[in-house]
Amino acid sequence: MGPDDLAPLFPMELIGQEVSTERFVPIPQEVLDVYRLWRPTPLFRARRLEKSLGTPARIYYKYEGVSPAGSHKPNTAVPQAYYNAREGVRLLTTETGAGQWGSSLAFACAQFGLDCRIWMVRASYDQKPYRRSLMQVYGATVYASPSPMTGAGSKALADDPDSPGSLGIAISEAVEVAAATPEARYALGSVLNHVLMHQTVIGEEALTQLPEMPDLVIGCTGGGSNFAGLTFPFLREKLAGRIDTVFRAVEPTACPSFTKGVYAYDFGDTAGRTPLLKMHTLGHSFVPDPIHAGGLRYHGMAPLLSHMYELGLFEAVTRSQTECFEAGVRFARTEGILPAPEPTHALAETIAEALRCKETGEEKVILTALCGHGHFDLSAYDRHLAGQLEDHTLPQERIEQALTELPG
């Protein structure tokens, strides 16, 4: 695909960044001025967690929950809103799962005077009403997806009137409206190259903040922006021979794109309106179970990360919903910060690795990204504490069925 294929959805500056071969792209002063509201974000050593585990491992975490939206997502929402506003765009459309991306884009649009319309996955729309409220406070209009407002939403509702929705469906709706509205463009919170590049501010800061280089970097993955943002700068150092770090992606057992998907060209949305992307995918028609980590309920993975996984540059594992919430509670009771459901996947793997170090006596240095707080996710923690959360084991036949619909 070329720039003309992307022009109906994105401003030319972001299209240029999508295909740029430059190692570094300067951050505009106007974007830096907004970043200063919360950046640089803190890096902590989890000493109380280490003590509770009795591990010789040293655990560090980069905390992105200090942003106005409470997650890492404004790192890309702000530059995306800036470049669109500079090109005269008046409306941005998008999708959101857990609501962190929607909150972030709504905040960013408010900074640059843009209107914002958000299609929020129905399961999260119902589970997280206060995320929806925050988007509306920032001035956005929020719809439950699938919605009857679009052709893609209407088709999904016709197929399943009780559909919990998915990021793929919500993307289809937002893209449909943006493509049909001359003064509108679309903004994506993960997956694409320019989004992953914006997020590397996380890893670049961590490189300067860490007192020692990590042996292992662990991050949760849904579309891939959080994991890439933390790991790409460290991967650069490894490829240059300056460090020997291992990288590990953690995804939900209910939506295992890396570990059970296939590496193929597929659509980024359910309706097939996007260009084809070479990625690890469960099939664009795949609708994950309504787990509380809404930001990880995406059928595919970022093309850059998918390519790197094929090259063997990092590992991938899965974690179940209940063990992740157990890790989140343990982290809150030791470190004092309530994590969002998404980073609890990385925390569960971090705790497991720290306990392995307890058995071996290895003094491993572990770095993870706490990509957002869970203040809007207390209903999910309520269900966990009441023993009401279920683990969703994904039957292989569901994956195989969705994969039959891959484009030829």
Instruction: State percent of the chain over pLDDT 90.
Output: 80
pLDDT digits (tens, 9 = 90+) for 257-288: 999 999 999 998 888 877 889 999 999 888 77
| pLDDT for the residue numbered 115 | 98
| pLDDT for the residue numbered 299 | 86
Going along the chain from its start, the domains and CATH numbers come out as: 29-70+192-404 (3.40.50.1100), 90-182 (3.40.50.1100)
The whole-model pTM stands at 0.93
| pLDDT for the residue numbered 291 | 61
**H or E element, residue 327:** helix 321-335
| pLDDT for the residue numbered 320 | 92
Long-range pairs of 303-307 with CB within 8 A, sequence gap ≥ 24:
303/191, 303/193, 303/277, 303/278, 303/279, 304/193, 304/196, 304/224, 304/228, 305/196, 305/221, 305/224, 305/227, 305/228, 305/249, 305/280, 306/263, 306/278, 306/279, 306/280, 307/278
| pLDDT for the residue numbered 384 | 94
Q: Map residue 111 onto helix, strand or coil.
A: helix
C-alpha 382/C-alpha 327 separation (Å) is: 15
Instruction: Give the closest residue to 317 by CA, choosing from 336, 290, 345.
Output: 345
**Tokens matching residue 210:** 């860490």
| pLDDT for the residue numbered 294 | 57
Instruction: Give the closest residue to 281 by CA, choosing from 143, 124, 167.
Output: 167
| pLDDT for the residue numbered 393 | 74
Q: Which residues contact 57 (CB under 8 A, 6 or more apart)?
A: 50, 353, 354, 357, 358, 362, 363, 364, 365, 366
Mean pLDDT by runs of 10 across the 408 residues of the chain is 82 94 95 98 98 98 97 98 97 92 97 98 89 96 96 95 90 93 94 96 98 98 95 98 97 90 90 86 82 70 96 96 96 98 96 98 97 92 92 81 85
C-alpha 393/C-alpha 288 separation (Å) is: 11
| pLDDT for the residue numbered 97 | 84
